[in-house]
Amino acid sequence: LKCISITDEGCAALASAFHSNLRELDLSRNQIGDSGVTEISSLLRNSQCTLQILRLSDCSITEEGYKALASALRSNPSHLIELDLTGNDPGQSGVKELNDLLQDGLCSLKTIRFLKSPAAEEACEYLTGVLGKSPLLLKELDLSGDKLGDLDEEKLSALLMDSHSKLEKI
């Protein structure tokens, strides 16, 4: 469903139509915004949802949408393993919400993408700060296309070396 001009109303229809059989949903490059993500989050909250891959790149998602996603994944954490949020702007609180979610022992996310996101630097800061406190299941963190400083590169290298980390690819 990539780049087909779905709106937040379309997301509401999708969320009500899909139940347990959907494994992958790509809504990238649709301007669904925070209200559309809130509708998709209702799908994620459903205990019968078995969605494993959710791609929401370039969907005009901000802090509010990130909060809705994190809340939904906290309430039904065991299914989603890949989340692509490329090109959205979560702001500090959105990054913190995802970071807190990653610290949850029930979270099964293994891949997160923040390509070309203003959040990349903040994500790096939060993730490196949290590893000493709790192990992460995250295996892949994609920040390509982002300009990171030398300090951020050092912190990311430390992520790969940390004994609490399962990261295999940055």
The per-residue DSSP string of 45-106 comes to HSTT----EEE-TTS---HHHHHHHHHHHHHSTTS--EEE-TT---HHHHHHHHHHHHHSTT
**Does residue 91 belong to any structural domain of this protein?**
yes
**Does residue 27 belong to any structural domain of this protein?**
yes
**Does residue 109 belong to any structural domain of this protein?**
yes
**Does residue 93 belong to any structural domain of this protein?**
yes
Beta bridge pairs of residue 165:
136
**Does residue 79 belong to any structural domain of this protein?**
yes
Q: Which residue has the tokens 């929401």?
A: 56
CATH code, 59: 3.80.10.10
Rounded to two decimals, what is the model's pTM? 0.75
**Does residue 137 belong to any structural domain of this protein?**
yes
Per-residue pLDDT of the chain (170 residues; tens, 9 = 90+): 565 567 667 776 666 666 667 889 999 999 999 999 999 998 889 888 888 999 999 999 999 999 999 999 999 877 888 999 888 888 878 878 887 887 777 788 888 876 555 555 666 666 666 555 555 556 666 666 555 555 456 666 666 666 556 666 66
> How many structural domains comprise the chain?
1
- The candidate with the shortest Cα–Cα distance to 44, out of 9, 13, 7, 19, is 19
Domain of residue 95 covers 8-161
**Does residue 2 belong to any structural domain of this protein?**
no
Token pair in block for residue 6: 């779905």
